[in-house]
Amino acid sequence: MLFKSSRRILNLLSSSSSSQARQVPNLILGRLKHSHIGIVSAAFNKGQRRNGVKDGPTVIKEAGLIKRLQEFDLKVIDYGTVSMEKLERNSSLQLGPDGERHHDAVLAYNRELASLVRKVIQENGLCLTLGGDHSIAIGTINGHAQANPDHQVVVLWVDAHADINTGGSSASGNMHGMPVSHHLRELAKDVNRLPESWPTPCMSGNHIAYIGLRDVEDCEQKFLDDLGILAFSMKEVEKLGIFEVINQCFKHLQPSTDRPLHLSFDIDALDPLEAPSTGTPVRGGLSLREGVSIVEAVRETGFLKAMDLVEVNPELGSEKDVKLTLQATKTILLAALAGRRGAF
């Protein structure tokens, strides 16, 4: 059955797990009011080869993110920026055992980021991390898992790319294409870690679902197929409709009090006509309306605990391109965190 609104998706979840839904105190009219939000800036670019992406968090906040959220009676705490200063003292390229570019630097940064994400979730209940490139999801998901050691974090990954490569399977060596593999128990033996074995895998293939895929390498597709990971390409989004895709993702992930939800949203999930200023744009993506539908539905589950918004690069494209990308980014964030449509 095709769901025609995210409200009906919430009703489905509530009917199948009403005991969990009743544990959420602020679930009113199907919408969770996050009274406290902690924001972390992950100004990081070593997971790929374009410098400007580290400025994404700054331009998003300068566009008025915090003030706009506060207008909806949300208490927002800015935890500042996880700095790259230590890493930049040694800016030479260091490869990992399988050719991963900046391997140790990427993981060292993410370990620090994970510690802050854990702190934010424990203190505020919801953490928004602004990237930076998508390698920061190594840290954000690990930190989310640390904050909920007795619960199983489940992840909705909205992206044009699967980002499930390992060092051995990646053609580019760019670690923004590898964050998912670092968390999967099934791929643990294929992933190179820091000497202290960080990060420890925190989920299995059935704890993640994808929406928006359209640029997946053959080796990544094999990982998805072999692990039975639920993944919707844009072809399937077009065939089924966005609400049916969202419904199937939630039925699979079963977010609840004991299964807190992590949303990792790469702005390149949107079609480049909507968000051109990003490092790896791929035509044929989600419309802005479809992107908003996803994040609205995520918010309305009541179980969102962490969100990443990544890969906004203000150095790419014209001034008009940057403005358009920021407009889309702001629309997505406002819908996800305040339940409001429109820009800041």
- Which of 176, 182, 183, 262 is labelled catalytic? 176
* CA distances, 91 to each of 45, 58, 102, 229 (Å): 12, 22, 9, 36
- Which of 102, 103, 161, 182 is labelled catalytic? 161
- Which of 100, 133, 215, 266 is labelled catalytic? 266
- Which of 134, 144, 183, 207 is labelled catalytic? 134
Active-site residue flag, 252: no
Active-site residue flag, 268: yes
Active-site residue flag, 34: no
Active-site residue flag, 159: yes
Contact (CB, 8 A) for 127 and 305: yes
Active-site residue flag, 134: yes
- Which of 159, 215, 244, 274 is labelled catalytic? 159
Active-site residue flag, 266: yes
* CA distances, 266 to each of 275, 278, 333 (Å): 11, 9, 12
- Which of 100, 133, 244, 268 is labelled catalytic? 268
Active-site residue flag, 225: no
Segment 269-272 long-range contacts (CB within 8 Å, at least 24 positions apart): 269/158, 269/159, 269/160, 269/211, 269/212, 270/328
| The residue count for the chain | 344
Active-site residue flag, 321: no
The DSSP bridge pattern shows strands 208-213 and 31-32 to be unpaired
Which residues, in sequence order, are CB contacts of 203 under 8 Å at separation 6+? 141, 145, 152, 153, 154, 155, 183, 184, 185
**Packed helices 288-301 and 6-16: angle between N→C axes, nearest 10 degrees:** 30
Sign of torsion over alpha carbons 97, 51, 292, 71:
positive
Contact (CB, 8 A) for 334 and 343: yes
d(CA 282, CA 294): 19
- Which of 100, 112, 133, 163 is labelled catalytic? 163
Catalytic residue positions, numbered: 134, 159, 161, 163, 176, 266, 268, 311
